[in-house]
Structure 1
């Protein structure tokens, strides 16, 4: 009969405990290292005031190593936006499974704002938004991401209209830019970091979405 292991007993490491990360895992780690360094530099000096050399120093990498992953500051911003887009895709999938359009929309928005707050992304989003006003490449990156979000929301809300679940206050082509502008403003403002509780934010989001989408109550 096997001896029972006592609490705190030494465990012999297995071969799997010493497996080195794969090439793809090492690359992902290096990319994240650069992104974290770039965020720190952008927040400290702004996009315009940050050089690739400063990012190298912050990341503790040689220029050759850095340029292997990112040829420019704009490509770093692209990667930051892509990482955020992937996170949003998961939230969209959950939203689309909701049995209530308004509740799905509120849950998606609340999750996005919470993620933005917990990961400290609000300042970097503000920096990207500011830089997009003077940098056409950054503007194109932001517009591309927002267009994808808008298309996803348009499909979601259009289907709800077709099912007779909501009666939006204006047509969707006018409403969607408004909703996205509100969402972007809330993300940058980081109300959760300013003392507004998640419960309070949820109540206000729901009230706003009900006013804009006008859900039809069952007879």
Structure 2
């Protein structure tokens, strides 16, 4: 029997997740059956179950993938781009979200995942972990600007980071429900509200 490469396994997993995204966006999580997912992916039940035990695991994988680029942006700014403004970090994250939503329904899937997290404790815990990581990375950027005098120091960096992250769900909700035109100016507005400390 020929050895299956990691590239093949990764491609099959992505094929299943892409099918799940289409089904979930079209029909919602609960109206989508495993039979629907087998048909949409063009794979047998055994092939799908090799990667995911059920829909809950697919939802979790989609949620993690949705946040990966946003987290990477925050981490890059916090660790590899010292001196970058808080507004620039947030604007980059918002632009990634807009691009991902245009290409694959990121916004709609995010709203579906949040709704699912209300009834799925393991998904809620994983989202909490991902948000905690994003908050920690953004807090590093905030702390740097507080130390440079570009942001007030009478509130903790964690509180400022939490407040900034509160922008994301509102942006995503409007993007998903109203459309990209409704939030087109938001990244520039965020940059203007929180410019670099040098500009302040």
- Say yes or no: does 1:87 pair with 2:87: no
Match of 2:181 in 1: 195
Match of 2:25 among 37, 43, 49: 43
Deviations 1:144-183 (A, max 9, x none): 2111111111122123223333226743333332221211
TM-score by length of 2: 0.81
> 2:147, 2:139 → 1: CA distance?
12
Q: CA deviation at 1:135?
A: 1.7
CA RMSD in angstroms, aligned pairs only: 2.7
Instruction: Give the unaligned 5+ runs of structure 1.
Output: 1-21
Instruction: Give the unaligned 5+ runs of structure 2.
Output: none
Match of 1:73 among 23, 34, 55: 55
Q: 1:89 to 1:171 in 2, by over 3 A?
A: closer
Match of 1:113 in 2: 97
TM-score by length of 1: 0.75
Match of 2:142 in 1: 157
> 1:35, 1:98 → 2: CA distance?
35
User: 3-state DSSP class of the match of 1:125?
Assistant: helix
| Ranges of 4+ aligned residues in structure 1 off by more than 6 Å | none
Bigger-Rg structure (1/2): 1
- Say yes or no: does 1:122 pair with 2:69: no
The structure whose RCO (Cα within 8 Å, separation 6+) is larger is: 2
